[in-house]
């Protein structure tokens, strides 16, 4: 792969059940789509505008 354009490589997502999904796009485009596209299969867009908090427990 040396010398090959990294933007030409697909993004592969492996699910918890070991199923691979290939996206024929550069990594930067994939990240933008999961953040902004509400119809993307791995979207995070539904969190936009919503506030959510995670508790932190340091074990003390």
**The pLDDT value given to residue 2:** 55
Contact 11, 30 (CB under 8 A): yes
Q: DSSP letter for 10, please.
A: P
Residues of the chain with pLDDT under 70: 1-3, 49-52
Cα angle: 34, vertex 46, 20; to 5 degrees: 40
Give pTM, 2 decimals: 0.64
């Amino acid at each position: 792969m040396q010398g090959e354009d990294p933007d030409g490589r697909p993004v592969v997502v492996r699910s918890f059940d070991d199923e691979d999904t290939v996206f024929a796009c550069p990594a930067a485009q994939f990240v933008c789509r999961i953040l902004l596209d509400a119809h993307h299969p791995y979207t995070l867009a539904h969190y936009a505008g919503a506030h959510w908090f995670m508790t932190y427990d340091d074990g003390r």
